[in-house]
Amino acid sequence: MILDLIRKRRSVFPVQYNDKPIAKADIEKVLEAANWAPNHKRTEPWRFKVMTGETKEKLGLFLSYKYMEHEERPKQMKAKKLIENPKMAGAIIAICMQRDPKESLPEWEEVAATAMAVQNMWLCCTEMGIGSYWSSPGLIKFMDEFFEMEEGEKCLGFFYMGHYDEELPEGTRGPIEDKVVWAD
């Protein structure tokens, strides 16, 4: 049942990943799931840049360099984490959003559609037993210096993926009744 899958979805971080590589076919399946997200006016604003192999390491070095360059009081631990996390991932997918050139709808709707695409990716990973999470560091504003982006395209974060061994904890949520007002 889909509700069971939704309840099972968790953030699984790079430190939890093992060394088992992620098959290209599995990444393609996750991206196909993303492609079926709902979107207003069929703009399909989601764009993805898949990083594997050496590109993950280059991303880590780039992020660490940008952090050291722009942070007023950089912390060595954070700089090191920026380098190490990408290396631990089986794959990293840059989550980008391509703004409709006609601006025929509000930007928030295209961001929301891209977020729904990421939720599809996350649920697909959960079903496949692949750990994942969406990281959105402030450093994403520099990603146009790392890879080529189209005019109107912006990076919204990174979708880290990796196989893991440990049991994931059960999730908790407050009751939905506390978050709903019924108007009859």
| 64 marked as part of a ligand binding site | no
For residues 68 and 80, give the distance between their C-alpha atoms in angstroms, rounded to a whole number.
11
Known binding residue 173? Answer is: no
Residue 103, Ramachandran bin (φ over 0: left; ψ between -120 and 50: alpha; else beta) = left
Q: Up-side HSE of residue 123: CA atoms within 13 Å toward CB?
A: 18
Q: Is 9 annotated as a binding residue?
A: yes
DSSP string for 169-182:
PPP----GGGG---
Residue 36 assigned to a binding site: no
Q: Is 73 annotated as a binding residue?
A: no
Q: Is 7 annotated as a binding residue?
A: no
Q: Is 104 annotated as a binding residue?
A: no
Rounded Cα–Cα distance for residues 150 and 80 (Å): 30
Which residues participate in the annotated binding site for FMN? 9-11, 40, 134-136
Which residues participate in the annotated binding site? 9-11, 40, 134-136
